[in-house]
Every structure is written in structure tokens, then in C-alpha cells.
């Protein structure tokens, strides 16, 4: 999976595309603090500036020519307003002034694509392919062209692992989930013809960029995945921490 190279100690990866180098992130969830206040009564100081500066630092660190967001640039599902709109506006002012920004539409992004259409390159919810790489958010079944790629990159799951210590304590860590895709779930949903173009693609499920957004504990028995094709579509999946630590088969971490 050398085509997708995670950035050490960051929820981001570098992807070499035809003619350019992309910094890829997923699940930015701008305005999440407003959502937490409204949905759960949790009061947190906004980390909007820190999130934006982290992306800018990663663009400079990786010498990226483009930023690709694998869905959920916004947090609340209706059209962004107030603090959330202001955060996205500031994000685009800062990042798009340096490199183009591509948004792969996620389930939280319908209003974003309308409000900021002139400042974003938009990929539809079913995803798209650029050279040998397929990109999608993961909340819906992909366009068959995505599955003809060598590697498929997705977000949506916010994969995490729960790690226990010898005295009964535990902590959660964001993680990468990587493995090969199985054709069977896609054949059942997209039709038999998908098998004729199957290229045995690898799948990379990105950790959430936003560390306040929670996630799916991929190593906890009974925990449900969010994507309609996971976990059935992934085989031999392995988990990795952001620092590159290989944890092995995600089901047995």
C-alpha cells in the first residue's frame, strides 16, 4: 500500500497522484463544539484555530499540492451556519489560498457543497477515482469505478482501538484500518458485473482528523460499523496507531 503513505503521528496521509502530491484527511467536523453543546450539553472551548493550523502545518511539512478531505468537513448535517460556517470559511481562506481543496461529499456535507461551491472541488457521495486511487467517504455504496482502483481511501468510521493495561485500565487511540477488499458484498449490492472488473483493491480507512469526534472501536466485540459494506467487505484487516505501531489483526488487538 505504498501509494498511501501515512504521515507519522498525524491522522493524515500523503498520496501521490498523477502530476501532484495530495495531503488526505478525513472527518474534519468543523464546528463540532457547537454540535456537542447543542446535542449533549457539553461545553468545550473551540479548537477551530488549532485544527486549521494543524492542516496548514501538514501541507507545509509534506509539500502537498492539494488537500483532499474524505468527507464530513462540517459537523452538523443541516447547512452550516454561525460558528460552524465561520470555521469552514476561515479554513478555506487559509488552506485554499495555498493549495486547491477537494471535498469528497460526506453525510454531513450537503450544505457545505452548496455554501462553498466556488471554493471547493467536489466529489459526489459515491466517490471518485483519481489515477490508481479511489476516494469516498464511506456512508454509501461506492461508484463501481472507485472499486477498480488499486487502493480505496475512505473515512466515516473514525476507527479507534481500545487498549487495556495490566491493572484493568483502558484508553482509546485513533487508528488506521487497512486490508484487502472482498468482492462478495459489492456483487450483492452493485450487481454481478462488478466481479468482471474486480482488481483486488486494498482499503485504507482513515482515522478522524478531529480528535473530539469519537469513533468506532474496531477491536471491541459487538461494536457496529457505520459503513454499509463494513466489516463484511474487509478481509485480513490490520490496525495501526498514528505513530506507526502495527497492532496486527484488528479483531484481536
For 232-250, how does the pLDDT look when each residue is reduced to its tens digit (9 = 90+)? 999 899 999 999 999 999 9
H or E element, residue 23? strand 20-25
For 40-75, how does the pLDDT look when each residue is reduced to its tens digit (9 = 90+)? 677 788 899 999 999 999 999 999 999 999 999 998
Q: Can you point out the beta strands (E) in 43-169?
A: 66-69, 101-104, 121-123, 128-130, 133-136, 151-154, 159-164
**pLDDT bucket at 126, cuts 50 / 70 / 90:** very high
Can you give the pLDDT at residue 1? 47
Per the CB < 8 A criterion, the answer to whether 104 and 70 are in contact is: yes
Q: Which of 178, 118, 161, 157 is nearest to 26 (CA)?
A: 157
Q: What angle do CA 6, 118, 153 make, to 5 degrees?
A: 25
Q: Which residues contact 50 (CB under 8 A, 6 or more apart)?
A: none
Q: How far apart are CA 96 and CA 100, in angstroms?
A: 5
Can you give the pLDDT at residue 158? 97
Nine-digit cell string for 243: 505513530
Amino acid at each position: 500500500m505504498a501509494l498511501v503513505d501515512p504521515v507519522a503521528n498525524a491522522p493524515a496521509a500523503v498520496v501521490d497522484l498523477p502530476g501532484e502530491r495530495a495531503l488526505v484527511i478525513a472527518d474534519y467536523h468543523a464546528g463540532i463544539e457547537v454540535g456537542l453543546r447543542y446535542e449533549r450539553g457539553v461545553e468545550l472551548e473551540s479548537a477551530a484555530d488549532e485544527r486549521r493550523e494543524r492542516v496548514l502545518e501538514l501541507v507545509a511539512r509534506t509539500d502537498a499540492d492539494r488537500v483532499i478531505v474524505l468527507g464530513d468537513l462540517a459537523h452538523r448535517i443541516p447547512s452550516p451556519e454561525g460558528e460552524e460556517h465561520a470555521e469552514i470559511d476561515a479554513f478555506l481562506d487559509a488552506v485554499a489560498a495555498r493549495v486547491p481543496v477537494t471535498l469528497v461529499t460526506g453525510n454531513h456535507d450537503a450544505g457545505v457543497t452548496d455554501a462553498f461551491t466556488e471554493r471547493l472541488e467536489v466529489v459526489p457521495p459515491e466517490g471518485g477515482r483519481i489515477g490508481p486511487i479511489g476516494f469516498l467517504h464511506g456512508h454509501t455504496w461506492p461508484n463501481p469505478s472507485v472499486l477498480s482502483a488499486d487502493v480505496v481511501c475512505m473515512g466515516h468510521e473514525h476507527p479507534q482501538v481500545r487498549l487495556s493495561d495490566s491493572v484493568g485500565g483502558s484508553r482509546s487511540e485513533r487508528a488506521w484500518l487497512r486490508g484487502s477488499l472482498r468482492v462478495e458484498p459489492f456483487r450483492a449490492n452493485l450487481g454481478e458485473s462488478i466481479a468482471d472488473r474486480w482488481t483486488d483493491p486494498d482499503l485504507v480507512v482513515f482515522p478522524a482528523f478531529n480528535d473530539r469526534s469519537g469513533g468506532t472501536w474496531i477491536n471491541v466485540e459487538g461494536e457496529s460499523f457505520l459503513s454499509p459494506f463494513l466489516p463484511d467487505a474487509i478481509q485480513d484487516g490490520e490496525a495501526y496507531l498514528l505513530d506507526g505501531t502495527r497492532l496486527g489483526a484488528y479483531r484481536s488487538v
